[in-house]
Amino acid sequence: MNGVQFLMEKVWHINKPVRIPDYCCSYGFLGLMLLPLLPKGSTYIGIDFTEGMLKKGKKLSHAILRHVNNGEQLLRKMAEFLGDGGLLVTMEYIREFEVDDLYIDGLNYSYLCEQEGLTKLWKTELQKCRRYISETIMEKILLFNLTKEDEKLVRALSDNMRIKVITVSADKYTSMLEDIAEQKTIFGMAPYAGAIPPESLLLFCNVTEKHLNRLLFSLKQKGTAISYKAVLTETNKKWNPIQLFAEMAREKAKYVSYEQNRK
């Protein structure tokens, strides 16, 4: 079993006909690898920025995120076209760029980047395209203090949409929400040892509107008793879970007071 076949069978779980648009495809190298392995009835469409690349196929064009100014925006646009259970797969591997992770001060790495026009891009790829962008924008749901039954339900619903679910333990309650979402380990930070809020909470991170609506509808239909549901924002991503619980409690109190005054 080669690497591509392993991905298809063990990681992507492709076991029925699929439709694949390949962005920045060059001469269709990926399609040539995939089509013999895909289930019968699958289709492949290659898309490239350069017409000449499609016609002549002089070289393999890949790592599209490092050739655009806003990789995150491009990925989000691609994700809008995914059907239910669809996968967005990126392949970002160019040796000249990857060596940036191995940089040692004083050594000359310029000989590794002799292709015209790539030297500057190599040096600025972190600032330009946000390295490890796929982990940053992946759809995730953070679970805080859910019952086993509710957690099982959320995981089942999320699996159908390929949304990653992370159960957050109480010792992480001193960490920032964005660090928890990206599963960063902050060395030297003492674990939370205070009182744990009795309420339960779902935090949606980069979940699309379509998926969010489906999840909320299904949870309501199933009659779950999850106390709070929130979305990770630019404002609250620097908070820790205790701060988020406190803000949700304040908002709930305001809402209850408003409804009582209406009566």
- Tally the domains of the chain: 2
Q: 């029925």: which residue's tokens? A: 16
Residues 39 and 154 in one domain: no
* Residue 58 to residue 203: CA distance in whole angstroms: 47
Last residue of a domain, one of 133, 154, 185: 133
Same domain for 163 and 256: yes
Rounded to an integer, the average pLDDT of 256-261 is: 85
CA pair distance 214, 160, nearest whole angstrom:
11
Same-domain check for residues 182 and 226: yes
Q: How far apart are CA 23 and CA 226, in angstroms?
A: 40
Share of the chain above pLDDT 90, in %: 35
Question: Which of 133, 161, 185 marks a domain boundary?
Answer: 133
Q: Looking at 105, 133, 161, which one is the last position of a domain?
A: 133
Alpha-carbon span 220 to 215, nearest angstrom: 9
Query: Does residue 230 carry a pLDDT above 80?
Result: yes
Q: Give the mean pLDDT of the chain.
A: 78
Between 20-34, 108-122, 170-184, 211-225, the lowest mean confidence (pLDDT) is in 108-122
What dihedral do alpha carbons 117, 118, 122, 124 form, nearest 10°?
30
Range of the domain at 65: 3-133
The arithmetic mean of pLDDT across residues 133-146, rounded, is 79
**Is the CB of residue 200 less than 8 Å from the CB of residue 229?**
no
Q: Which residue, 207, 147, 199, is CA-closest to 173? A: 199
Q: Is residue 77 pLDDT above 90, yes or no? A: no
Residue 125 has pLDDT above 90, yes or no: no
**Residue pair 218/157 in contact by the 8 Å Cβ criterion:** yes
**pLDDT recorded at residue 88:** 80
Q: Which range has the top average pLDDT, 24-38, 74-88, 176-190, 207-221? A: 207-221
Considering the domain architecture, whether residues 170 and 115 belong to the same structural domain is answered as: no
